[in-house]
Amino acid sequence: MNGLSRPLTPLLTPRLTPRGFQELMEVSDGVLERLEAYVALLRKWQPKVNLVASRSLKDVWRRHILDSAQLGPLLPAAGGIVADIGSGAGFPGMVLAITEDHNKAEIHLIESNERKCAFLMEVNRMTQAGAIIHHCRVENLPELKADVVTVRGVASMGKLLLYANPMLKKGGQCLFLKGKKWRKELTETKKNWIIKESLIPSLSEPSGMVVKLEEIGQRNDS
């Protein structure tokens, strides 16, 4: 994926095609083919494992692929270790492993659900994404020090920081994909955490926000 100038205009069209995604995010034909294989596996496994909301598959390239891939240009240019908490069906971690394969990033997917882990392992094998998959709860993860922690959904920002902060290297950052309640979550988080935030409008959801957190510390009275 090429470096993109941010912010871009959020995508307002009702559905995004694979080619539309390719043009927007400037990925190669090879990366697009691997993402198409990923989407095919998602559709195949969905009836058995309930990986995502079924209705979201009607607009899978916007709701899941673009939503995840928009984090790529925000990763450190030097690569480093990326930890994706609560990966589920692989969003955003697996998408980043595929789209950022030219980068030197080492991407770890952390997921406690056995069946979802089986799906992630199959996607990893079929797409040769090179992700490292951990079948465990994040609090039981063997020591891992990450340059970046990514999360989509899962829990509130404050709760996510309880899991993310201990695994961040000094100078590390969090990239949280958040929906329309991001502002309220951020206000609540600041009551217990000292943070430097950067806000990047979501490309996939007009009311969403990519929340980048740095210089993270827990307040003494929290």
CATH of the domain at 42: 3.40.50.150
Per the domain annotation, does 185 fall within a domain? yes
Residue 104 pLDDT > 70? yes
Per the domain annotation, does 10 fall within a domain? no
Pick the more confident residue, 87 or 153.
Answer: 87
Which sign does the torsion angle of CA 71, 34, 205, 93 carry? negative
Q: For the segment 110-148, what is each residue's pLDDT rounded down to a tens digit?
A: 999 999 999 999 999 999 999 999 999 999 998 899 999
Mean pLDDT for 85-98 is: 98
Per the domain annotation, does 4 fall within a domain? no
Q: For the segment 149-180, what is each residue's pLDDT rounded down to a tens digit?
A: 999 987 899 999 999 999 999 999 999 999 99
Per the domain annotation, does 63 fall within a domain? yes
Pure H helices in the chain:
18-25, 29-49, 60, 67-69, 93-99, 114-127, 157-164, 182-189
The residues near 147 (Cβ < 8 Å, ≥ 6 apart) are 76, 80, 81, 82, 168, 169, 171, 172, 173
Q: For the segment 53-75, what is each residue's pLDDT rounded down to a tens digit?
A: 999 999 999 999 999 999 999 99
Q: For the segment 197-207, what is each residue's pLDDT rounded down to a tens digit?
A: 999 999 999 99
Distance separating alpha carbons of residues 128 and 37, to the nearest angstrom: 11
Per the domain annotation, does 1 fall within a domain? no
Per the domain annotation, does 45 fall within a domain? yes
Give me the domain span that covers residue 195. Answer: 18-218
Tokens of 98: 């595929």
Question: In the chain, helix, strand, coil percent, each to 5?
Answer: 40, 25, 35
Per the domain annotation, does 3 fall within a domain? no
Distance separating alpha carbons of residues 101 and 12, to the nearest angstrom: 28
Per the domain annotation, does 54 fall within a domain? yes
The structural domain count of the chain equals 1
- Kindly report the average pLDDT of the chain as a whole number: 92
For residue 110, give the amino acid letter: I
